[in-house]
Structure 1
Amino acid sequence: MALPVTYIQVVAVERVTPRTARITFEADALDDSVGRTPDQQIKLCFPKPGRTEPVLPGGGDDPTGWYQAYLAVPEDERPWMRSFTVRGRRPGTRRLEVDFVLHGDGGPASAWADRARPGDRLGMVGPSELYARPVPLATAVAGADWVLLAGDETALPAIATLLAALPAGIRAVVYAEVADEAERQPLATPADLTVRWVYRDGAAPGGPLTDAVRAADLPGGTPFAWLAGEASAVRAIRRHLVEERGLAKASVEFAGYWRHRLTQDDAPTAEDFADAQEKLAQAG
């Protein structure tokens, strides 16, 4: 299975909330499968200062080999790389939509998105099962009485695509943490949906979401749970669901998208390694 690598170019920028920019890209090459299934993860490569587009190594059948080629790019030219979820695909085109959270801390992705204009170019790696397996949504939902989706604003693109893919009639409960009421987004689904918006209002990320799920009066029966967002919050919610609510580990999909006070350029922590090992074991 080849690892797709291509350049993408901005064709439109929309502010869907004060802190979220939805950017539409035209890809130089785009597989037909992109944007057809929920929670498709990609990696975007951002150019270093002074460059109009990133230096992008070629693709291959081995993600480790591609990453070694990426690391071989001289440091002053090596692009910043960040993970995102495909928010949507324009049917019949090579266009896709990606949502960026504008957190204003000077991070390369947020800073780039805040000033993005049509014609700007990035590199894109994936989506590919080589580094991110698809969520087994159909199988999981078939064995569940209801669905729980919980995450912060970084998880909203994935939550939106998962909700759109749910079958009609199944009950779905979403807990979504955002900065404040202005960051709410519409979520469409054929499912029977309940959304609980959780506002940080200046609190540390992840804490309000964790507290809200712990205090939640959740439906009875056996759920399928999907969790994503700040890593320590995801870890705490998963532990609560398994140890205190009695959910089977196999019925909880989880992903730590980001780490408070750390970036993707920082070394993994011991907890990051433990999460990765458990996800590998669960996938196997």
Structure 2
Amino acid sequence: MSLLPKTRMPRTRRMINLEVRATERLSPTFLTVTLGGPELAHLEPMGHDQTVRLFFPRAGQERLRMPRRDSEAWMAEVLLMPKASRPWVRNYTIRRIRPRLGELDIEFALHGDSPASAWARGARPGDPAGVFDMGITYLPPEDAAWQLLVGDESALPAILAILDGAPASLTGDVFLEVPGKADFRTDLAVPEGVTVHWLARDGAAPGAAALDAVRRAEPRPGRGYVWAAGESRLATGVRRHLVRDRAVPKSDIAFHGYWRQGRPSPG
């Protein structure tokens, strides 16, 4: 079963060198890092869940060594680097982008002492970072009568970015599972026809609360579109339930396993 949804890629892309401009702690779990620099002019804003490969230095590295290849060959290039100079690479969604200021925000869900969490906590203005555009996977059909967006904390920035660009006519439900109530956002502006359901995990298994809420939700009539992401069992569980129990066509569901509990990201 594939966890790779359809993707719309940018027309052109290149490795982009940036630097940290600011950080902001949003809640116990979330921290925003603002990156900026003149090379951001080479990134095409696509909105929605626009994802980038984020490159950042390992602890002890004096500089960031970015790949030189502007294609998927960059992966081999990075793997051939000595570990002493190899950067960390992780996938993140652009939460906001401000082209005029040459800035973008990346919102981190902090998980223990993972490399990305440790870097984000310690990021200071002037620290180097880099991005490589990976496009968008949120591709709803024009005739969708409703939408269902589901995610845990790792997918929260993507879903909030999607809602930021949503038309006023959007109808549907959003289920957002976060570690605790202190991570709820109370200032969201969403279309009138969209209901946002905040779910506090409070120590339960990741994705369990969101999956249970989707199962209990009242079905909506007509063709819909579903975008689900987060811990892999949440993404696959939502798809399995909707296909088997709600007869939602597989083609109308985009699902993405961002992470898997108990398995660290490679690199």
Decide: shared fold, TM above 0.5. Answer: yes
* Number of residue pairs matched by the alignment: 256
Inter-CA distance 2–33: structure 2 relative to 1 (3 Å threshold): closer
**Which has the bigger relative contact order, CA under 8 A and spacing at least 6?**
2
Aligned to 1:155: 155
Inter-CA distance 222–155: structure 2 relative to 1 (3 Å threshold): same
Cα shift at 1:252 = 0.5
Aligned to 1:226: 227
Q: Superposition RMSD on alpha carbons, in Å? A: 1.8
Cα shift at 1:133 = 4.7
Cα shift at 1:35 = 3.6
Counterpart-to-counterpart distance in 1, 2:214 and 2:138: 22
Counterpart-to-counterpart distance in 2, 1:55 and 1:21: 24
Letter in 1 for 2:246: R
Aligned to 1:183: 183
The match for 2:121 among 102, 105, 114 is: 114
Cα shift at 1:93 = 2.1
TM-score, normalised to structure 1's length? Answer: 0.84
CA contact (8 A) 1:229 1:255 kept: yes
Instruction: Identify, as 1 or 2, the structure richer in helix.
Output: 1
CA contact (8 A) 2:230 2:256 kept: yes
TM-score, normalised to structure 2's length? Answer: 0.89
1:135 to 2:138 alignment: yes
Secondary structure at the counterpart of residue 88 of structure 1: strand
Cα shift at 1:7 = 1.8
Aligned to 1:19: 29
Counterpart-to-counterpart distance in 1, 2:88 and 2:99: 29
* Ranges in structure 1 where 5+ consecutive residues have no aligned partner: 267-284
Question: How far does the alpha carbon of each residue in 1:97-125 deviate from its partner, in whole angstroms, 9 at most, with x for none?
Answer: 00011122x11000111122211111222
Cα shift at 1:257 = 0.8
Cα shift at 1:30 = 1.6
Structure 1 segment 58-137 matched on structure 2, within 5 A: 58-60=68-70, 62-63=71-72, 65-104=73-112, 106-125=113-132, 127-128=133-134, 132-137=135-140
Aligned to 1:282: none
Cα shift at 1:18 = 1.8
Inter-CA distance 70–148: structure 2 relative to 1 (3 Å threshold): same
